[in-house]
Amino acid sequence: MIQLPAVSVKPLFSVLVVTLSVLLAISVLAPRSIFSQTSFSSLSRENVDIWSVRRMLEWRPCKWWLQGHLIPLSEKSNGYIRIDCYGGLNQMRRDLCDGIGIARLLNATLVMPKFEVAAYWNESSGFADVFDVDYFIQQMTGFVRVAKELPPEFASKEPFPVDSSKRKGQFDYLESVLPSLLEHQYISFTPAMSQRRDRYPEYAKAAFCQGCYSALHLTKSLEKKASELLLAIPKPFLALHLRFEPDMVAYSQCEYTGLSPSSMEAIKAARGDKKPWTGDLAKIWRRRGKCPLTPKETAFILKALRIPTNTHIYLAAGDGIMEIEGLTSVYTNVVTKSALLSGEDFGNMHGNTKAALDYYVSINSDAYMATYFGNMDKMVAAMRAFKGLHKTLFLSRRAFSELTYMGFRGKRLARALWEAHRDDFVMGRGSALPDCFCEFKL
């Protein structure tokens, strides 16, 4: 019998152990994207998406309004107030939130608000068609009086209108509105755009915060529809609020090159007598970040932030977005509510109820990005922070404009955009909410 020479297995075993240890360490330490089932193969900055960056602070609801009502309601009300709300759903929600704080400031009883009926927004639904009235009243107990119905002496009357919507500078409701409330006992107004909530006493701010973030729930039927829509979206997903409609571009007074003839025609029709800026004024306006991002520019920034192109994206937007192929040619897994809802369901919905679906999906998404810092975006950021969801970022039009103005292109532009948005995400600047939220350092 032939004996083979003995072979030592210790070096081979040691190499195998070291190799397995290194592989295990890499698999544990490598950051994971919420959009991918696989870990990154390298810790290189080139492979880390924006959500993998460690934040330095978060915005969370302040304890001062969560823990108490501060000052009890007085025994007698000064009268009844109806808040008249105009615009899209989130603009009307903003007016209502302000109205809640003002009603508390004036020691008034809040009646159900009036939502605008507007052909422009394809809108005929009121407050009770969107929000759960009984839940709202219950949640406001102790913060402000709310009446579901007016007493008989006022039920058949229109309230006395008080004009505060166009006032400029500091607006004092105690001086300007309280006398009318005491005289007529039932008034209506739209909150002034220029008001300063930081000048409210804390008990009025607490009512505003409670009303805005704790008391506004969708009706049961609308929430059911929104939940069905949320379930239909492939997970995980990014909700993207993209604003590039003809009216938005017309309002911005910005000029664009390279758009399709149909887009240019739509913008021209929306402009009417409003002319775009020209010459040096146009350059200054654009450099300040006043021009809406196109879908193509949005796709470029998403790629710069290392959002994988196979990411599932829910497009939270109204009808009429132009040049959408600039996004969908790069990010191919884009879905919309009109594609996911049945034709009959979608056809029967108005502007407010459609916007409510976008709002619900956005605050419950795995991540949220917006190309604009409008009323919806501020509310979504606040509600996500309220729920402890902090993967929220606003794409910086100003950074994009400044960098392209300086001649940045291609990889150089992408790297600079990454650094600008990384700094915003680290410091939470994109979702700073000083009225009801406080900085929490991590």
Note the pLDDT tens digit of each residue in 96-127: 999 999 999 999 999 999 988 655 555 567 89
| Average pLDDT over all residues of the chain | 85
Task: Report pLDDT for 42.
Answer: 31
Q: Is 29 exposed, middle or buried (0-12, 13-18, 19+ CB in 10 A)?
A: exposed
Q: What is the spatial distance between Cα 199 and Cα 148, in angstroms, rounded to a whole number?
A: 29
pLDDT tops 60 at residue 38: no
pLDDT tops 90 at residue 338: no
Task: Report pLDDT for 317.
Answer: 85
Task: Report pLDDT for 404.
Answer: 96
pLDDT tops 80 at residue 285: yes
Task: Report pLDDT for 123.
Answer: 52
Fold of 220-244+292-441: Rossmann fold (3.40.50)
Give residue limits of the domains in the chain: 70-213, 220-244+292-441
pLDDT tops 50 at residue 41: no
Q: Work out the pLDDT band at 428, boundaries 50, 70, 90.
A: confident
pLDDT tops 60 at residue 278: yes
